[in-house]
Amino acid sequence: MDRMLIVSNRLPFTVQERKGELQIEPSVGGLATGLSSWYKSLNSVWIGWPGIGRKKMKREKDILAKLLSENCHPVSISQQDVEAHYNGLCNRTIWPLFHHFPLYTEYDEHFWQAYERVNIAFANVVAGVAKPDDMIWVHDYHLMLLPKLLRERMPKATVGFFLHIPFPSFEIFRLLPWRNQILEGLVGADLVGFHTYDYAGHFLESVHRLLGHEAAMGQITVADRIVRTDAFPMGINYERYSSVDRDPRAQAERKRFRRKLGDCRVILSVDRLDYTKGIPQRLEAFSALLDRNPSLKRRVILVLLVVPSRIRVEQYMQLKKQVDGLVGEINGKHGTIGWMPVWYLYRSLPFHSLTALYSLADVALVTPLRDGMNLVAKEYVAARIDEKGVLILSETAGAAQELGEAIIINANNREEIVQALARALEMPEQEQIERNRVMQKRLRRYDVVRWADEFMDKLLYTKELQRQMAEKVLTDEMQRRLAGDFQKSTGALLLLDYDGTLVPFSPKPADAMPGADLLRLLERLTKRPANEVVLISGRDKETLDKWFGDLGVGLVAEHGAWTRKRGGEWETIETLASEWKNEVYPILESWVDRTPGSFIEEKEFSLVWHYRRANPKLGELRARELINSLSNTTANLNLQVLEGSQVVEVKNAGINKGRAALRWISGQDWDFILAIGDDWTDEDTFQVLPPPAWSIKIGFGASAARFSLGSPGEAVSLLARMAGER
């Protein structure tokens, strides 16, 4: 890999003015801390705003030299643009809207113009620093126009984008006056990543509906370029948070806190002060808990740790007042001499103090109204090295999709939070341990480094897909040649997969029945007696009989287990057995990690990855990736990989579409053969074709097929052309 350019609004170092002098200090929290070790281990450069206005930076050449020595390139922005970009469009428009707070959203043309100017300023710096082979990774909602601006300046650049906040549903996103510009900005990237599959789905829907691009299954076709989207749930630096017991400062801090808290049970709340985090709702629920359970008096303390944030924005000022008021009310109403029910800290704490609090809290109450991911939930679980403690987590935090063993609540349902708190305070230790153990295992494996690595792997994979796609597309010229060869032939064999090839995938397999036009087209193709059309499918023979039984076509059912020649009866072939599981099992395990809810079933001669309990769309996407990935691993193992109904099954070879296709291929001297298919099961067909045959993959993944087409619609129009209908 060449260099990595990380681009984010803020640099990992902030320039600060102290007593009239400029100094640089590491930025605290967020991306910078999470990625610092990963970024240093690579040949990386970071590009971002240094936290200080253009004029001051100009005065200090030394500061610039210091930043450059840390591989940081500052983007200089005027103070007015910082104000209108960051405090304007970012925090008064995008942030509230993307978190589903349309009433807090301000639409101001001046903010938008500043947003454009700042994105252009970033593009200029990146274009000046970037070399052709660099990988560019742009972060977050401050820079959503940047991918397109970079694509215009460097058409071949490798650009990834990751959004750290939610992408809202279409109905919310469409409210934005500059919605198309934002989408166009984003699809300038090669890969657009989100924390959850839901956000990726919202984005795809908006792209499809507003820009009109074909967008499905994690892929967008923008003119002649494909853009991938996917979910990469951000992890934490697990090692760092789970080393509390080895950190003497954290240990000392823990003792100090414990002395102050006495033997009270501790409920912990940690956030930036933001209206998306649901802090007032949390306080109200805690107050209701005390109302209802007088026995908890003097026995429980809510430690409310709040970091000041965006203090110049009106809603944040109001929220501050509201939280101050609620804390005062609760302490006034329930407190006694010597016991303050809410311990309110309005500041940022150093790392060792934060981990000390995590490690002693009996309950972490993490109840955002909406949150892209929420790292606090993950940090708490990681810091509980004794495996005890209970996490209460709101379902509208991205983290809830990975931390299903927490007590999951609806943050707007006060009653549910009160009950969750009561349940958490009473939860038997054994149950706490069982829940945390599973979450810890997951967080340890999928940490921040793995997150970044997976993003990069996917970015490279997307580039590779684009390269293959460009090479293999069946051009109009080639389609004309193909149709001509077919029409001249004296014996033509067409081997056609059905689902995903002649019809698009539909959520319910039964809905994909062929329409009248398709049936008529197939009939036309079979009209000449010298032509043979064979439909090669994974479906059962009953369905194929029902749909195509009267057509005069050959049929292959269940990926080759059954074949039926034109006018003949169904016939079957037998299977073989072999040993190979040790190699395949770990691969399936890593898919289980990345797809919450999925699991592995082990049968005597096969391994099955089930995703029926996972988010259905995510499951489908992962299944396709798994099949692609297994096709490499299993090449030498005499195995086959089959996609069933919400399962991917790996079994020994013996039955496959290729073997079935050979019954037709070798049965006669054909002077024209065409095979079309879309997934890995069709690769077997492609592999048994004699060299002059035409083979076409639908979609742009790796394939043994010689050519590719973008969609079933294109395959059908090619067939129509062959039949002389176009």
Active site residues: 497
Is 379 an interacting residue with respect to ligand ADQ (CB under 6 A)?
yes
User: Which of 33, 462 has the CB closer to ligand ADQ?
Assistant: 33
Is 100 an interacting residue with respect to ligand ADQ (CB under 6 A)?
no
CB of 272 to ligand ADQ, least distance (A): 5
Contacting residue, 26, 29, 509, 549, with ligand ADQ by CB under 6 A = 29
Q: Is the dihedral of CA 137, 100, 322, 318 positive or negative?
A: positive
User: Which of 347, 527 has the CB closer to ligand ADQ?
Assistant: 347
Residue ranges in 156-195 that form contacts with ligand ADQ under rule CB under 6 A: 164-165
CB of 299 to ligand ADQ, least distance (A): 25
Q: How would DSSP label each residue in 67-124?
A: HHHTTEEE----HHHHIIIIIIIIIIIIHHHHTT-GGG----HHHHHHHHHHHHHHHH
CB of 290 to ligand ADQ, least distance (A): 24
| Residue 64: partners with Cβ closer than 8 Å, 6 or more residues away | 57, 74
User: Which of 162, 686 has the CB closer to ligand ADQ?
Assistant: 162
Is 198 an interacting residue with respect to ligand ADQ (CB under 6 A)?
no
Three-class SS of residue 231? strand
Q: Could you write out the three-class secondary structure of 47-63?
A: EEECCCCHHHHHHCHHH
CA 12 to mean position of chain CA atoms: 24
527, 553 contact by CB (below 8 A): no
Contacting residue, 217, 349, 408, 608, with ligand ADQ by CB under 6 A = 349
Separation of alpha carbons 113 and 111, rounded Å:
6
Is 618 an interacting residue with respect to ligand ADQ (CB under 6 A)?
no
State residue 665 phi and psi, 5-degree precision: -60, -45
For 689, other C-beta atoms within 10 Å of its C-beta total 22
As a whole number of angstroms, the longest Cα–Cα distance in the chain is: 100
Separation of alpha carbons 207 and 212, rounded Å:
7
User: Which of 383, 493 has the CB closer to ligand ADQ?
Assistant: 383
Number of residues in contact with ligand ADQ under rule CB under 6 A? 19
Contacting residue, 134, 184, 253, 371, with ligand ADQ by CB under 6 A = 371
User: Which of 354, 696 has the CB closer to ligand ADQ?
Assistant: 354
Is 549 an interacting residue with respect to ligand ADQ (CB under 6 A)?
no
User: Which of 182, 234 has the CB closer to ligand ADQ?
Assistant: 234
Is 234 an interacting residue with respect to ligand ADQ (CB under 6 A)?
yes
CA angle (51 as vertex; 233, 454 as ends), nearest 5: 20
Is 357 an interacting residue with respect to ligand ADQ (CB under 6 A)?
no
287, 333 contact by CB (below 8 A): yes
Separation of alpha carbons 57 and 353, rounded Å:
34
The two three-digit tokens of residue 428, written as one number: 């038997």
CB of 679 to ligand ADQ, least distance (A): 33
Separation of alpha carbons 688 and 665, rounded Å:
9
Is 374 an interacting residue with respect to ligand ADQ (CB under 6 A)?
yes
For 480, other C-beta atoms within 10 Å of its C-beta total 11
CB of 23 to ligand ADQ, least distance (A): 21
Run of H or E including 623: helix 616-633
- The CA-based dihedral angle spanning residues 351, 352, 353, 359, taken in that order and rounded to the nearest 10 degrees: 110
Binding mask 272-311 for ligand ADQ (x = CB under 6 A): x--------------------------------x-x----
User: Which of 313, 722 has the CB closer to ligand ADQ?
Assistant: 313
Is 392 an interacting residue with respect to ligand ADQ (CB under 6 A)?
no
User: Which of 237, 685 has the CB closer to ligand ADQ?
Assistant: 237
Is 326 an interacting residue with respect to ligand ADQ (CB under 6 A)?
no
CB of 68 to ligand ADQ, least distance (A): 27
Is 376 an interacting residue with respect to ligand ADQ (CB under 6 A)?
yes
Is 449 an interacting residue with respect to ligand ADQ (CB under 6 A)?
no
Is 372 an interacting residue with respect to ligand ADQ (CB under 6 A)?
yes
Is 348 an interacting residue with respect to ligand ADQ (CB under 6 A)?
yes
Token pair 């005069």: residue:
552
CA angle (351 as vertex; 593, 258 as ends), nearest 5: 100
502, 518 contact by CB (below 8 A): yes
CB of 193 to ligand ADQ, least distance (A): 11
Contacting residue, 159, 373, 502, 557, with ligand ADQ by CB under 6 A = 373
Query: Applying CB under 6 A, which residues contact ligand ADQ?
Result: 29, 164-165, 234, 270-272, 305, 307, 348-349, 354, 371-376, 379
